[in-house]
Amino acid sequence: MTTCNLRILGVDPGTATTGWSVIEMKKKEIIPVAHGYISTDKNKSEEERLEEISGDLQKIIKKYNPKEAAVEKLFFFKNQKTIIQVAQARGAILLTLRQKSVKVSSYTPLQVKQALTGYGRADKNQIQQMTKNMLHLKSLPKPDDVSDAIAIAICHLNSRIYNNLNSPSGMSRQSGIRLRRNSTG
């Protein structure tokens, strides 16, 4: 029997900080592979910052070879200047993923929170706690952009299972998943 290992890259877009996470589905277990963030210098031009995000994301893709990615959708921002900058970062991320042939799915913050905590209005701390507990991490993923990226990846994995998209490994809605401690912590 062949085992289908599915690597998913979760991305929380931002111009100043872009959170990322790679998780793997292996024998019905979620395994945390790596996570971190891309931080750009506020003194650089917009195009330099977007180029940095794209370049760093290309390195992450090359190193971890995810087959699919989940990126947070934009929904509503009070600050119109912020939404434009985040939208530009999201655009650079989507283009980079497309150029690297990584299949992309998008989820709203409400969908991600609902998938992780069962409550669509969960706060940042609740998301951090849940990602730490679900993946048995030694400490809270920080900054919160990282825990958001982990949550986005888990949301995508749950969505695949629910929608029975993981047929190569025989997963179905009823099969469920198990969580496993990352050997590196």
CA max distance for the chain: 54
Assigned CATH topology for domain 6-179 = Nucleotidyltransferase; domain 5 (3.30.420)
Which pLDDT belongs to residue 165? 56
Which pLDDT belongs to residue 28? 81
Q: Roughly what angle, to the nearest 10 degrees, separates helices 109-117 and 144-162?
A: 80
**Reported pTM:** 0.85
Spatial separation of the C-alpha atoms in residues 19 and 12, rounded to whole Å = 5
pLDDT in tens, 99-137: 999 999 999 999 999 999 998 889 989 999 999 999 999
Instruction: Determine which one of 24, 68, 145, 148 is catalytic.
Output: 145
Active site residue 148: no
- Of the pLDDT bands very low, low, confident and very high (cuts 50, 70, 90), residue 61 is very high
Dihedral, 104, 145, 28, 110 alpha carbons, nearest 10: -70
Active site residue 72: yes
Active site residue 123: no
CA of 9: how far to CAs of 45, 52, 71, 109, in Å? 27, 18, 8, 16
Which tokens is 105 given? Answer: 């799915």
Instruction: Determine which one of 52, 72, 144, 148 is catalytic.
Output: 72
Instruction: Determine which one of 12, 52, 68, 148 is catalytic.
Output: 12
**pLDDT of 184 strictly over 70:** no
Task: Note if the bond before 141 is cis, omega within 30 degrees.
Answer: no
Which tokens is 145 given? Answer: 């952009």
- For the four alpha carbons of 30, 31, 32 and 33, in that order, the dihedral sign comes to negative
Pairing of β 178-179 and β 6-12: unpaired
Which tokens is 73 given? Answer: 């959708």
The full set of domain ranges for the chain reads: 6-179
**pLDDT of 58 strictly over 60:** yes
